[in-house]
Every structure is written in structure tokens, then in C-alpha cells.
Structure 1
Amino acid sequence: MTKNPIKRTEKKVKQKSQWSKLNHWLHLWLGLSSGIIVFIVSLTGILFIFCDDIIDGLASDALYVKEVKEQRLTPEEILKAFKKQHPDRKASYFITYRDPKRSVKLASSTKERDLQFSWVDPYTGKVLTSGKAYDFFYVVAHVHSGEMPFGKTGNLIVEISVWIFLIELITGIILWWPKKWNRSTRLQSFTIKKNASFKRLNYDLHNVPGFYNLLPALLITITGLVIVNKTLNKTTHKVFDGFPRSYAAMRDIKPEYDSTKTFAALNPIVKRLFLKDAAVEQVKLSIAAKDSITSLSAVAAKDIGLKGVQNGKTFAINRYTGQEIEIPVKVINGLYIDETTMNLHIGFWAGWLGKIFTLLVGLVCMFLPITGFLIWYGRQNKKKKTSLT
């Protein structure tokens, strides 16, 4: 006796309907529960994209010196001059440029944290200007991660919200997918209807940009999770043969402290780093907080930002000899993985083009919770009106 094909079809339709209801329920309630956090994370992420451009833009004319002289001061002389002008501040690193007209960019802080950048004339040692934008973006970055103002609890809340947003992207594309592909559904799915009612316009603004934003939003979400989630971070490094927490590992690559030895001059170190590659436009060198620290970290790159590094390489420098310290291959791979992940996350991978692209993606991510909430709120009001009549 054969089974009834009609009943079997009905069962499949019913089963599909149950999955559809579950998907809709997940998308709705997960979105409502995490919407505010996703909005804040997206907003702070957008603010951070152009942090380097804003920091340098506020420095204005101080980015360049008025007169290029024959003799530059050594890094030690520049640091000494800065300390004389700002005795309350402690320098942490400086960035110097291939362009002889550029001033030296020096990061410093006080005991109360108070971070700032100062731009110093490399020929006179004069501090041309200082700005608090560094401190502002430090706060933005820590709000983005949830660390401010809730510490580790905030980190966990943000991480859970990002995992939820990842699920939202997947359930969203399932909801978006038309049951039938024809001219009408294609038009509705891929275009925003102009001159429509507010409800229809809001619905289209949630669905259509959400679809186009799917892949880049997945990229930013996944890279963010790789940065904050320890298990995912370790797995990523294992897959690509890298060492997790490679920056911390760099601090352990150092010679033994020897009080009888003196430290090498910084100027030859900087010059050698510029000679590494013709594409190197900037060199960043850390400033040791204590005399017992026997190695320095250095970066030679085309562009060096607060978080991103474009076309660059990181080095460990022996403070006694001024020479590079050999870094294990796994640590080098780890550094590359971390830098690539961060560059993809903040849009540092392609200069202005990458930043503008990431800005657009971030804006859509920021407004998705708002348009989604308005869709839900409109339907709730409709149900109330219907029940009253």
C-alpha cells in the first residue's frame, strides 16, 4: 500500500512553516534584546574609523615644520626637549616620517591616564601643538568593547550582542529570501520603493540595505569576534600557524638585563628601519618605561594608525646593540594575523577607500536595529487597533 503523496506534501509544508516561525521568532526577539548594544557598538565603531584623520586634522599646521634645517635632533634630544616642556608627562612612543617636513608625533600620558599626542619640531625640539583627541578615541574604543564603564562584564555583554548580531544576519537573509522569484519579488527585494508610506519605506530600508550589507557586515562581525573571543582567536591562529597574543609574546623576546652595558643610540635604529623598504613612510618606536626593559618594539610601514598598520612590519630591537632580535616564525605569523584582522575590522586595509566602505557598512548596521524596532512597533500598534475595533 503506497503512502498518500498529498499528505506527505502537506507535512513538508507544515514542517517548513514551523522552521519559518522559529526563524522569525529568533530574528525578532534576539534583535529586540540586543538592539541598543548593537547600535552603540556600531556608532562607536563608526567614530573610530577616521580617528587618525581627525587626530592629525586637529593638529593642522603643526603636522609640518616651517623650516627644514640641515641637522635634525636625535630621538634622545627630542625626548629630552619634550620632557623639559612637559615635565608632568611620560612619553610612550613616537612616530617619525620619511618626509623631512613632517614633525615628530609623540604619544604621552600622565599618572591619571590623560593621553595626548604632541607634534614636535625635529630640528628645534619645540612642541608645536598637543591634542586631547587621543584620549577621546581611547574612551570611544573602550566603550566600543564594553570595557567602559562596566569592565569585564561590559566586554561580555558586547561579545554576546555581537554573537546575536551574527545570528541576526543569518536569520535576516532567510527572512529576506523570496518564496518565488519573479519580476515583482525582485523589484521588492532589491530596490527601495520611492514615494511610499512611512511603514513601507521603513520596511524597505530594513530589508534592502540589510541584504546588500550582508557580506561586509559578516566580515566586520567575524573579525570583531576573532579579536575579543579567546577560543575563536586561538582557533584562527592555529589554522594559520600563528601564536595567539603575539604582541604580549614580543615583550618576552629580550636579552637579559646587564647593568654594566649601555643602551645603543636610537637614531641609527630609525635610519635602518627606513631602509628596510622604499615603501616605508613612517617608523614607530616604543619608549621604554624603565631602564630594566632591554628591548624596544618598532614598526616600519606606509601608514601607522592608533590600531591599524598599512603595509608594515613589526620588529623587536635589542636596546644594547640596536640590532633586530630574531622573532620566532609563529610569533611573526601571529602578528600578521592580528594586524590583518584589525585592518579588516576598522577599514584600514585600503586607505580612504577602505574607511569610506567600512563607514557605509557601519551606518547600515547602526540603523538596522532602529528600522527593525519600528517594524515591530508598527505591527504591535496595528494589532491593538484591530482588537479595539
Structure 2
Amino acid sequence: MPKHKWSIAHIFSYGFAIAGIAGALLIWSIYRVTTTIMSTATSVSQTYEVISSFRNMQKHLLDAETAERGYVITGDPAGLPAYQASLQQIQSDSDLIAAFVTNYPVQKVRFLELQKTISYRLKTLQMIVDTRSAGGVDAAHELVSLDEDKLEMKRIHDVLMQMEEEENVQLNVRLHARDIAYREFWWSFVALIITLSASTAWQYLQVRRIMQLEAEAKRRMRHMAEHDPLTGLPNRRQLQDKLELAIAYAKRSGKKVAVMFIDLDGFKAVNDNMGHQAGDELLKVVAQRLRHATRSNDFVARLGGDEFVVVLSELDQLADATRLASKLNDLISQPVPLAEGVARISTSIGISLFPANGRSSAELLGKADDAVYQAKAAGKNQFQWAAA
């Protein structure tokens, strides 16, 4: 058997390795994307919560201011609980925002500014409430009407808007990162499918190639085992099989089978006088002439040395075998030009017939071989039928 660069086991191992690497890359990609998505989801949730806190703080400041003004106008202590509740909510909003902006320097600076402004505004509100509680109605009204109140609220509003805009920028960045992670995951998945498909196709082609090479090697080995290496004709081994098949078919069909045993006259002289190379070339020419002279369904084999056999299957008339034998005597006796000179040989042919001369391949070959000796004894370059 031929040696291949890749064995089937190696190909599958290589394919599994590729699949393993591709799978590991996909798992890593899924892990990275999942981590990114979870991190982004957390950040996005926090961003929305911060933005909500900004808006809640502004709302609670307005609620505190509304409750404060209601108390100033009415003097009814029943409005103070709402004012106190708003202050507590503002503190909760402030604590929440502080926790979120700790790791963001820009927002942290703005938050410090926001805290100062809100603290100043809350002190102003408390001072007005305290003034009203002490009975200073006019003084409280005068403080409420100051333009400074409006400026303080505007400053708070501006800082909150700046912080919200920054959070929106960060939100867009995180959403973009999430989208990129999603795309990378799908590209990784597509790459995995392509890689696995290419690997599978490559494995299929390589395995198919190896199987074809092995089949071709087996065919060549079988051909070598069944054919003569010099002439390319079937050898004795294949002759036995073909002759048995021809006999089996003749038994079913009722037709005859003729076996021609051919021995070359004068071949030894050519071999001795012109050399073995000339003898080999002569055998090749004889084999070629035998092929050309016989029918497509006839079988030509070389037994070895200067002996050949022709099997005529599906024979209807004995005259067909007689004509072929005569043709072979004439054809092979034609001069053969070789590099060493012109070779001249003839043939002695013995013919046996199924079922008259035997019902097995061994009997038919034996009878045909006996007839060859009769042809040689009769003067060579002729054919003889086997005796019944």
C-alpha cells in the first residue's frame, strides 16, 4: 500500500483539532460578549437610574419650594410635613447620585458644585421657614420674592442638565459597545460555521483522495498479481478464473469453448543468438499480435516463457477456431524487426474443446498441451486438435 502524507486518522484528528479550536474561540467570544453585555446592562441600568435621580432631585426641590411657599402664605403647620419629606427625598437623591458618580471625575466635580448650590438653596428655604415660624410674616414674604431664589434654582437646573447630558453621552457609548459586542459574537459564529464547513469539506476531500489512492493501489496490485509484467497479458492465475467462468457459461448455454495452447517455434534460438532483451521485445510483439487477431470476447494469456493460451468462449462453430489458429500461424510467422536484427519464429498450436476433450480447466489445458507436441512432431508452424 502507498504511504500518504496524511492518513485518515490524522485527517480526522486534524479536523477535530480545528473544530476544538473553533469551538474554544466561540466559547471565549460568547463569554466575552456575555461579560460585555452584562457589564453594559448594569451600566445602562445605573445610567437610567442616575438620570432618574437628577429629575427626581429637581422635582423634590420644586416640591420643597412649593411646600415652603405654601407655609409662608398660609402659616398652617400642616404643610411642614410635606416640606420635611421633600428634604429627606432630596437627601436620598443626593446620596444615590454620589454613589454613582464616585468613579467619574467629571461628574464628581459637577456633583460637588451641585451639592454646594443645593445646600445653599436649602439653607435659604429653611431660613424662610424659620422666619415665618417666628412670626416674621412680612420678612418671610420679602425673602420669597427675592430674585436670588430664581437664580439659585436656575443654577441647580443647569448643573443637573449638564450632568444628565454627560450621562446620556456615556449611555450612548455603552450602548455602542454592546452593539459592537453583539456584532463580534455573530461574526465569530459565522466564522465558526465557515471554519467547520471548510474543515469538513477538506476532510471529505482528503479522505476521498486517500480512498481513491488506496483503491488505485489495490487495483494495481491486483493487476500485477493477475498479469504478466513483460507483455501485460493476463497470467496463469487469471487464466484459471476466466476459463472456469467460460466453462460454467458454456454448461448453461450449451455452447462450446476452445482452448488454444500456443508454443513459439525458434524462440530459444532468438534468445540465444540476439540476447534476452531481443527475446523480451519479441514476446511483446507476439502478445500484441495475439490481441489484434482475437475477438473482443476471447481471452489471451501468457503462461510463462514462450507459452501462450487463447480461450475462445461462446463458440458456435469449430470452423471459427480453425480459422483463428490458421490466422495466428500466418501472423506470428511474419518477420519481426528488432534492434539486434530481424527475428523469425513460428507457432505450434494445440486445440482442445469443451466438452469433447474435458469438462474442467485442467483437463482442457492438459489436452491442448498434448496437441502442441503433436503439432511440433508434425513439423511445427501448424495447429492440431486434441484427440478425443
TM-score range, shorter chain: under 0.3
Bigger relative CO (Cα 8 Å, ≥ 6 apart)? 1
TM-score by length of 1: 0.24
TM-score by length of 2: 0.24
Which one has the bigger helix percentage? 2
Which of these two proteins has the greater Rg computed from alpha carbons?
A: 2
